[in-house]
């Protein structure tokens, strides 16, 4: 076989030349070549976070308490690779005029200079203006010269920069909700704070790359990981009850300069759902929600705590309501002597009458004589008290619940004294928040069963309930027979002639059972109940349930005075608040056989602003009867701008539905359903 030496030699030479060329290329690249900016930039990539839409917060009937409206920022890619010279040169002046009219911060010549300079520098990601645009303004910008050619040829880049958080009912339930200015704001209070991770959803990722001019721009050659929008939260709050509770509390404050703060809680008996939570405090001459007194302010509750003393005495068979005893204006226990002016004029008094008139010595005497004989007997009393779970650490959905405390002889930190047992008998020594107190009374209303107080009823995704919060039973605080006796005693406080709440509930439209309470507040500067000028601070309370025959709601009102020389009573300042709330619920609820009837249906939540549904095929869409969010999305999807006044549902719109109008602004008038 003959070998062609010429061909083999030629192949060998070609191979050597290729190898030499590769070596030369490597050496040149390593030691002599300086890459172009574009070569470097194209290799530098990264990602940036895309925030999802924050979930809405809804009332118990589906009306919006909080929702987010997107805002937009405009950028522009001025590279000649995107916008042709002809398109740019022929339209830059017209575009500048439109931008000047849109932003109104500089004239057309100023915008033209900005665009021409950026064009010369081949800017790939020019921020046209830092001002955020509404949805209508953004849609209008998309029609401007050059921009109307789209992103690939017109260079327009639209980014959702932030979501404006809207609260249609203004400051209603301010501390309970926890207001945000925007979706990126940090907040630690209310539902917005405690449920932030649920409302916020999960962020996505947008690929970006660095341009020749060292700018980061979206990298459209790589896939976006879309964000997961937040979950909607349906609360237990009833807008109507919340509104009336706030209104009544404000009215009470207007009657005295001595009132410093107050709180109201309304709870549904069977479920523990909180229908209203109001917190007002005097600040700069106005009453505003700055602090959640309902869950954060703990203190000695005063006479409303006597219900626990009566429950223990009845449950253990130590007394009956009709039992009589000597009425002792002065009663002593080791370490203190107590004076009770309410017993003046009585020779003998029954347990029930003592409860009606809120006698301290009746309960000091009964508790001391039945449980004060030894440390073990005193420990038994405090054990029974704690077994009723009035101090329970409730798992409520908002942060800030103060820890309730009940002293006992077994405490290792706080030394126990005999007078502590006497103090517990009439509402001192223990420290509770209004939430703890109203939850205990709710248990008495609920046939002795304590249920977990809660503010959230459902978690909703895309209009579908993904989790429903069911009532949770905590414990049974006492027997049914004791509950019946407690109901009778509480009704006597309101109904009987000498009851402390008799005058506040005279001729009330609904039967209420409850208890007044007044307590002095320890002043931090002195550590006592008086300051150096002899002034005192009080808290006045009333807590009760209604209707008496078949309880549906439990309510508490607590008001706090500033420093004053005046006397201060829960029967005068707190009881009338609960009365007005009870009468409002009674007169507005169509029936008492079920829960308060919802006034609207929960709307399915879809991505704003593309969920408009309307039966007006031409002209201005008809949004009468809708809530604010649905109205905004419906109108904005048809390129209308929206202004509104009031809160609730739309009762009127201008222009009228179906009107063929060149004016793209629609005015909405909102009001609560009656």
Maximum Cα interatomic distance, the chain, rounded to a whole number of Å: 143
Q: Which of 501, 495, 594, 490 is nearest to 552 (CA)?
A: 594
Q: Which of 267, 296, 582, 576 is nearest to 434 (CA)?
A: 296
Range with lowest mean pLDDT among 396-405, 512-521, 532-541:
532-541
Calculate mean pLDDT across residues 23-42. Answer: 54
User: pLDDT value at position 594?
Assistant: 43
Name every residue whose Cβ is closer than 8 Å to that of residue 162 and which is 6 or more positions away in sequence.
71, 132, 182, 183, 184
Helix (H/G/I), strand (E/B), else coil: 597: coil
21 phi and psi angles, rounded to 5 deg: -60, -40
Question: DSSP character for 306?
Answer: H
pLDDT tens column, 223-279: 888 888 899 999 999 999 999 999 999 999 999 888 999 999 999 999 999 999 999
User: pLDDT value at position 69?
Assistant: 82
Range with lowest mean pLDDT among 83-87, 307-311, 374-378, 652-656:
652-656
User: pLDDT value at position 3?
Assistant: 52
User: pLDDT value at position 245?
Assistant: 96
* Number of helices and strands in the chain (H, E): 21, 25
Query: What is the rounded distance in angstroms from the CA atom of residue 635 to the CA atom of residue 620?
Result: 8
Q: Which of 491, 469, 482, 411 is nearest to 443 (CA)?
A: 482
Task: Say how many C-beta atoms besides its own lie within 10 A of residue 592's C-beta.
Answer: 17
Q: Let me know: does 652 contact 674? Beta carbons within 8 Å.
A: no
Q: Please say if the pLDDT value at position 486 is more than 80.
A: yes
User: pLDDT value at position 24?
Assistant: 65
How is the chain split into domains, by residue range? 5-33, 47-235, 239-588, 608-674
User: pLDDT value at position 566?
Assistant: 83
404 phi and psi angles, rounded to 5 deg: -70, 150
pLDDT tens column, 155-164: 999 888 767 7
Calculate mean pLDDT across residues 86-94. Answer: 95
Q: Let me know: does 389 contact 403? Beta carbons within 8 Å.
A: no
Q: How confident is the model at residue 136 (pLDDT cuts 50, 70, 90)?
A: confident
Give the residue, 449 or 173, on which the prediction is more confident: 449
Alpha carbon 549 to its chain centroid, in Å, reads 33
Q: How confident is the model at residue 202 (pLDDT cuts 50, 70, 90)?
A: confident
Query: What is the rounded distance in angstroms from the CA atom of residue 321 to the CA atom of residue 356?
Result: 11
Q: pTM of the predicted model, to two decimals?
A: 0.78
Q: Please say if the pLDDT value at position 564 is more than 50.
A: yes
**Which CATH architecture is the domain 239-588 placed in?**
3-Layer(aba) Sandwich (3.40)
Calculate mean pLDDT across residues 380-386. Answer: 97
User: pLDDT value at position 617?
Assistant: 42
Query: What is the rounded distance in angstroms from the CA atom of residue 358 to the CA atom of residue 340?
Result: 10
Query: What is the rounded distance in angstroms from the CA atom of residue 460 to the CA atom of residue 57?
Result: 10
The fold of the 47-235 domain, in CATH, is Penicillin-binding protein 2a (Domain 2) (3.90.1310)
| Mean pLDDT estimate for the chain | 86
Helix (H/G/I), strand (E/B), else coil: 448: coil
Query: What is the rounded distance in angstroms from the CA atom of residue 252 to the CA atom of residue 158?
Result: 51
Q: Please say if the pLDDT value at position 184 is more than 70.
A: no
Helix (H/G/I), strand (E/B), else coil: 562: coil
Write out the two tokens for 497: 């002639």
Burial of 187 (0-12, 13-18, 19+ CB in 10 A): middle
* CATH of 608-674 given 3.30.470.20, 3.30.10.20, 3.40.50.880, 1.10.10.10: 3.30.10.20
Q: Do domains 47-235 and 608-674 have the same CATH topology?
A: no
Q: Are strands 156-166 and 64-76 parallel, antiparallel or unpaired?
A: antiparallel
Q: Please say if the pLDDT value at position 1 is more than 70.
A: no
């Amino acid at each position: 076989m003959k070998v062609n030496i010429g061909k083999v030699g030629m192949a060998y030479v070609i191979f050597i030349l290729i190898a030499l060329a590769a070596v030369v290329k490597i050496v040149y690249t390593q030691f002599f070549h300086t890459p172009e900016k574009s070569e470097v930039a194209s290799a530098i990539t990264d990602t940036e976070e895309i925030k999802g839409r924050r979930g809405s917060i809804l009332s118990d009937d589906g009306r919006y308490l909080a929702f987010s409206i997107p805002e937009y920022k405009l950028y522009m890619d001025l590279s000649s690779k995107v916008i042709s010279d002809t398109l740019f040169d022929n339209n830059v002046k017209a575009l500048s005029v439109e931008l000047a009219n849109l932003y109104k911060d500089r004239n057309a010549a100023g915008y033209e200079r900005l665009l021409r300079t950026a064009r010369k520098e081949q800017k790939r990601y020019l921020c046209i203006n830092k001002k955020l645009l509404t949805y209508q303004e953004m849609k209008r910008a998309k029609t401007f010269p050059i921009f109307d050619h789209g992103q690939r040829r017109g260079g327009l880049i639209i980014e959702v920069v932030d979501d404006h958080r809207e609260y249609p009912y203004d400051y209603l339930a301010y501390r309970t909700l926890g207001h945000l200015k925007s979706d990126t704001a940090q907040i630690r209070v209310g539902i917005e704070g405690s449920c932030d991770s649920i409302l916020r959803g999960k962020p996505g990722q947008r690929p970006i790359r660095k341009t020749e001019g060292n700018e980061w721009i979206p990298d459209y050659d790589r896939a976006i990981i879309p964000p997961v929008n937040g979950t909607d939260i349906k609360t237990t709050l009833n807008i109507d009850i919340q509104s009336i509770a706030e209104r009544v509390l404000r009215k009470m404050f207007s009657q005295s300069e001595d009132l410093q703060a107050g709180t109201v809680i309304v709870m549904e008996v069977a479920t523990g759902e909180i229908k209203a939570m109001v917190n007002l405090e005097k600040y700069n001459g106005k009453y505003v929600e700055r602090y959640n007194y309902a869950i954060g302010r703990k203190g000695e509750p005063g006479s409303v705590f006597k219900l626990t003393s009566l429950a223990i005495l009845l449950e253990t068979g130590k007394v009956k309501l009709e039992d009589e005893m000597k009425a002792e204006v002065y009663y002593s226990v080791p370490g203190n002597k107590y004076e009770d002016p309410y017993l003046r004029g009585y020779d003998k008094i029954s347990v029930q009458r003592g409860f009606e008139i809120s006698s301290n010595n009746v309960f000091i005497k009964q508790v001391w004589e039945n449980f004060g004989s030894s440390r073990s007997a005193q420990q038994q009393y405090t054990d029974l008290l704690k077994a009723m779970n009035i101090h329970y650490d409730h798992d409520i959905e908002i942060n800030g619940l103060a820890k309730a405390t009940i002293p006992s002889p077994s405490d290792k930190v706080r030394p126990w004294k005999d007078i502590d047992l006497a103090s517990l008998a009439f509402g001192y020594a223990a420290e509770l928040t209004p939430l703890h107190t109203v939850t205990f009374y709710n248990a008495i209303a609920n046939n002795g069963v304590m249920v977990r107080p809660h503010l959230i009823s459902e978690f909703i995704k895309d209009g579908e309930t993904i989790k429903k919060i069911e009532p949770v039973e905590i414990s049974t605080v006492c027997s049914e027979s004791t509950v019946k006796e407690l109901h009778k005693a509480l009704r006597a406080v309101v109904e009987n002639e000498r009851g402390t709440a008799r005058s506040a509930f005279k001729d009330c439209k609904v039967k209420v059972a409850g208890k007044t309470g007044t307590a002095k507040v320890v002043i931090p500067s002195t550590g006592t109940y008086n300051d150096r000028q002899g002034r005192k601070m009080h808290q006045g309370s009333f807590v009760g349930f209604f209707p008496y025959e078949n309880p549906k709601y439990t309510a508490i009102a607590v008001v706090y005075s500033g420093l004053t020389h005046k006397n201060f009573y829960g029967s005068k300042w707190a009881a009338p608040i609960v009365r007005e709330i009870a009468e409002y619920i009674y007169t507005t609820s169509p029936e008492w056989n079920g829960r308060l009837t919802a006034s609207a249906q929960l709307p399915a939540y879809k991505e704003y602003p593309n969920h408009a549904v309307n039966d007006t095929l031409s002209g201005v869409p008809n949004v009468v009867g809708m809530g604010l969010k649905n109205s905004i999305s419906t109108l904005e999807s048809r390129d209308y701008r929206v202004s509104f006044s009031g809160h609730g549902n739309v009762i009127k719109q201008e222009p009228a539905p179906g009107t063929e109008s060149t004016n793209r602004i629609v005015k909405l008038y909102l009001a609560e359903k009656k």
